Structure 1
């Protein structure tokens, strides 16, 4: 009887624990969401997207850009998403993101040329030079980089467009650097080239220090108000410095 009683006690404790705790936590969930016990698994709760929009007038200049004030941590993976609209009658061009550290000017770089060529650099290793896509209309763009896998995935309008590989560089990106939108840094917070300046509108720029799942990116494209949980940064006015003729635009709220 004592053995049977012990089994019953352990079984009851296990059942109580499974009912009182969520089936996963923020460290184990692939989608980094709030997990709740609902009898059918867990429920996902995206957070409300901050709404931001900035217009880059373009032209041959080195004065128009945004610098993020929030410190950037050391990262082995990250995702960046935004809506991008080119100037009327043109293809999207210019530097989308330039991240440098005192030791490395191209810790991360993403630039679109008017020809449609994508230049992507990670820890000064260039990948994606042969990737061609011309963004002539408002487009939702995401890049998800996982250094430990050696991959960078490009998503356009919620769908996977291309997976790029970089076999020779799988180190972490150093933290504490300068994160700039709109100009390329050939030196730390400097060395800008006017021919590489960004032209167009960037809306709802957000960054996560993890790789978003394809499902999260698809949801983000279809509903601008619902975002994957725990973003690392967005372009709130109090978190950035705006230079030159870059202007904030009014956007529809959620």
Structure 2
């Protein structure tokens, strides 16, 4: 019984009660192989469609990870990275697609949304109000198992395998995740800083998370009135 209580206590300590982060950011101040945020999603069923939206602020021009979702069978299940400034790389269940021609502002806030639906494989990336060409990636794919979702690092193994040369340095805020390809209007509302329907898998206004390494929680300075 004593061992069971210790185990329950450790689990509770690792995953605190959900918090409203609507005016907060996660700050990753230095390049690191450990600094990360693990976000808990309400998603244990197989995933066949996803939309991820977030805002980030960074001055990096090297490779960096923006959003990493792994499942037990595949570390690059739903992964968004920037191999270089202005180049975005999408992974779905392993295979990758590079997208260029969309903006990346250093030392300014960037707003990103990424939609995917396995029924036809159509995937689209939106950055700062502009969208990519629609591409096909991950057609008929199903992501099974409890997802491991990490901010600040790229997962080379399920829940780990971090490389500091791929780490994110800067601020992340307003990250939401849906188990559908949300409407163009909802994406526009997010991009413009207007009212939108929050993510049903991850809701920044009701966020359950744990941190590791040098990560700070700071007040957001994102100005919704002067983005676009």
1:55 is aligned, of 27, 46, 52, to: 27
| TM-align CA RMSD | 2.7
- Higher CA-based Rg: 1
Equivalent residue, structure 2, for 1:102: 72
Greater relative contact order (Cα 8 A, min sep 6): structure 1 or 2?
Answer: 2
When normalised by structure 2's length, the TM-score is: 0.77
Q: 1:49: how far off?
A: 9.1
After superposition, the Cα gap between the structure-2 partners of 1:188 and 1:115, relative to the gap in structure 1 and judged at 3 Å, is same
Equivalent residue, structure 2, for 1:14: none
Task: Give the match's secondary structure for 1:217.
Answer: helix
Equivalent residue, structure 2, for 1:39: none
Equivalent residue, structure 1, for 2:201: 232
Distance in 2 separating the partners of 1:93 and 1:135: 13
Kindly indicate whether residue 217 of structure 2 is the aligned counterpart of residue 248 of structure 1: yes
2:57 is aligned, of 85, 94, 100, to: 85
2:141 is aligned, of 150, 160, 171, to: 171
When normalised by structure 1's length, the TM-score is: 0.70
Kindly indicate whether residue 117 of structure 2 is the aligned counterpart of residue 146 of structure 1: yes
Task: Give the match's secondary structure for 1:105.
Answer: strand
Aligned length: 201
Q: 1:170: how far off?
A: 2.1
After superposition, the Cα gap between the structure-2 partners of 1:54 and 1:223, relative to the gap in structure 1 and judged at 3 Å, is same
Distance in 1 separating the partners of 2:47 and 2:114: 15
Contact preservation (8 Å) 2:23, 2:219: no
Equivalent runs, 1:37-48 vs 2, <5 Å = none
